[in-house]
Amino acid sequence: MEQMLRAQNVRFRYDPEQPVWALDGVTMDVKKGEFVAVLGANGCGKSTLAKHFNAILLPEEGTVLVEDMDTRTEEKLYDIRQKVGMVFQNPDNQIVATVVEEDVAFAPENLGVPTEEIRTRVDEAMKMAGIYEKRKAAPHKLSGGQKQRVAIAGVLAMRPDCIVLDEATAMLDPKGRRQVMQTIDKLRAAGVTIVSITHYMEEAARADRVLVMSGGRIVMEGTPQEIFAQTGRLHSYHLDVPQAAELRDALEAEGLPAPKQIITPDAAADWLFELLK
């Protein structure tokens, strides 16, 4: 499969005077159509990495490629930003306009898309994000989950190939989080590449691949099953496993033959049923 994003030996620090590297040699890639979750404790560098994917930050050493475009190529800046959309943590701080549809139109307006096409793009994006019914609403009257979907629609209106979610569900209640996750599922089905930076292990459990970051490096990589099988290692990076995996470990410690790949309630229930029926 083709690569969507590639980082090669990326090093970055916020203050070039200090020897503190926020990213300290990150090499990773994301294939087209893939859903990659990035986990890590606060300050591990995961948000810094996210901001490298659409040239908000540029590497001090190493390269970041979006398809085949080096993020340092200035002429390609807007092509890169159109290809890789970003959604941030605080939904309030990324909505510009006072009406939902006008906010969604912000990016195509900036890109100089003709008026008729903006309309099509905006409607399409709002339907995809599931906020079409709210198109005339004022953003501050919406719930957190709705606002975050407005932000997603605002990015989709650029017709990106990849969306990077930088802790996009961190400030949402469970309902809002569910809504955003459903939207992500829809985007996945439509072939959009997704990179999701999250603190929620349950969200990461749904990804194709999980990366774990610590101290500005990628320290673990694998399928969710592979990653959440290693509870001890995750703990050493100040991370957790979903409760289903916690139960699995606790049962294993009691001498029950709990298979390592159990990470979701469904899988746990299926196994326990076979065991106890």
Examine residue 106 and tell whether it contacts other proteins (CB under 8 A): yes
Closest to other proteins by CB, 143 vs 182, is: 143
Closest to other proteins by CB, 42 vs 68, is: 42
CA dihedral 141, 183, 85, 36 (to 10 degrees): 140
Binds other proteins by CB under 8 A, chosen from 27, 29, 221, 256: 256
Q: Provide, rounded to whole angstroms, the least separation between the CB of residue 52 and other proteins.
A: 13
How far is CA 104 from each of CA 88, 119, 138, 150, rounded to the nearest angstrom?
Answer: 15, 10, 12, 7
Examine residue 69 and tell whether it contacts other proteins (CB under 8 A): no
Examine residue 108 and tell whether it contacts other proteins (CB under 8 A): yes
Euclidean distance between CA atoms 64 and 29, whole angstroms:
10
Q: Select the span of 3-11, 19-27, 185-193, 247-255 touching other proteins (CB under 8 A).
A: 247-255
Q: Select the span of 15-23, 65-73, 83-91, 182-190 touching other proteins (CB under 8 A).
A: 83-91
Q: Provide, rounded to whole angstroms, the least separation between the CB of residue 154 and other proteins.
A: 6
DSSP track, 186-226: HHHHTT-EEEEE-S-HHHHTTSSEEEEEETTEEEEEE-HHH
- What binding mask, one character per residue, do residues 205-234 give for other proteins by CB under 8 A, x or -? ------------------------------
Write out the binding residues for other proteins, residues 44-63 only, by CB under 8 A: 54, 56
Binds other proteins by CB under 8 A, chosen from 9, 29, 185, 275: 275
**Helical (H) or strand (E) element with 164:** strand 162-166
Q: Provide, rounded to whole angstroms, the least separation between the CB of residue 139 and other proteins.
A: 7
Which residue(s) pair with 259 in the sheet? none
Backbone angles phi, psi at 213, to 5 degrees: -115, 150
CA dihedral 29, 45, 147, 80 (to 10 degrees): -40
Examine residue 193 and tell whether it contacts other proteins (CB under 8 A): no
Q: Select the span of 68-76, 185-193, 209-217, 251-259 touching other proteins (CB under 8 A).
A: 251-259
Q: Provide, rounded to whole angstroms, the least separation between the CB of residue 261 and other proteins.
A: 15
Q: Does residue 100 contact residue 147 with C-beta atoms inside 8 Å?
A: no
Euclidean distance between CA atoms 67 and 5, whole angstroms:
6
Binds other proteins by CB under 8 A, chosen from 19, 75, 136, 232: 136
Question: 3-class DSSP state for residue 63?
Answer: strand
